[in-house]
Amino acid sequence: MRILGRKVKPGTIATYVLVIALTVIMLLPFVWMLSASLKLNREVFEFPIHWIPQHPRWQNYADIWTKIPLGLFVFNTAKITIMVTLLQLFTSSFAAYAFAKLKFPYRDVLFLGYIATIAMPWQVYMVPQFILMREFGLYNTHWALIALQAFTAFGVFLMKQFYMSIPDELCEAARVDGMNEYQIWWKIMLPLSKPALSTLTIFTFVFAWNDFLGPMIYLTKTDLKTIQIGLRMFISQYSAEYGLIMAASVVAIIPVLLVFLALQRFFVEGVANAGLKG
């Protein structure tokens, strides 16, 4: 068969058809979401589906901000997510440097402790954690969620794996040149570990932004809630306002989509590396 003047094997065509069909299945819910977000309620379930709304209702995107304090929810989520991500990047890369490049007593025991908790389901200790946070007076504060997510074993593990691939000679040479360990971390390791830092950024950002169970347990006051909880609240309050619900859902997904598209290359590499070495 010839397409655009080139010879194409039937097998190749079959592969493309399959890949495109699968991509459609994976993305269809989002396309439907986008399409429904511009419709009136009665149009949402019309069949056959009008993928491009006949009279796009942009008003939905204006209404969601006034029906619920969506702006505040977005602000709260952004605040928590950014704090968690910054703390995570700093504390993980800092600790990982010692685990990867320095020798000190109990290093391996400590690291084993980290590894052991990665396999531990969070749900096993979420109750004692909740009690502890309450004792600290962190219930109904954003600090509870920040403390919950900023110090993860996963972050340390990911960064350490990356630092192991950087030759020790580089650190040795820097020491001979009179750099101290903090300078080596700041001036050599951090700049070299951009791919790993990007991976950790997306992981942390995506999980903090999308977190649902954490905010549900810790935040009961409306003005503290995050976008996922707000969205959930919105759904039960306006259960028949499908167009509005879809518009709010689109808003909840956009930041993650942007971060994902910007750092996607690193994410895919990072997942692959963490997977191979895990």
Tell me the C-alpha distance between 66 and 218, whole Å: 25
Binding-site residue total for another protein (CB under 8 A)?
A: 94
Q: Which of 50, 113, 165, 237 binds another protein (CB under 8 A)?
A: 113
* C-beta separation of 192 from 171 below 8 A: no
CB 270 within 8 A of CB 195: yes
Cβ 91 to another protein, closest distance in Å? 4
Does residue 252 belong to the site contacting another protein (CB under 8 A)? yes
Q: How far apart are CA 47 and CA 41, in angstroms?
A: 13
Binders of another protein among residues 38 to 77 (CB under 8 A) are: 44-45, 47, 49
125 vs 67: CA distance, rounded Å: 36
In three-state secondary structure terms, 2 is: strand
Stretch of residues binding another protein (CB under 8 A), selected from 59-67, 161-169, 193-201, 210-218: 210-218
> Is residue 102 within the footprint of another protein (CB under 8 A)?
yes
Per DSSP, the three-state class of 200 is helix
Stretch touching another protein by CB under 8 A, among 57-65, 67-75, 144-152, 161-169:
144-152
Q: 143, 224 in Cβ contact below 8 A?
A: no
92 sits near another protein (criterion: CB under 8 A): yes
- Classify 6 as helix, strand or coil: strand
* Per-residue contact string for residues 124-143; x = within reach of another protein by CB under 8 A: xxxxxxxxxx----------
Choose the stretch contacting another protein; rule: CB under 8 A; options: 2-10, 78-86, 150-158, 166-174. 150-158
Q: Is residue 185 part of the contact set for another protein (CB under 8 A)?
A: yes
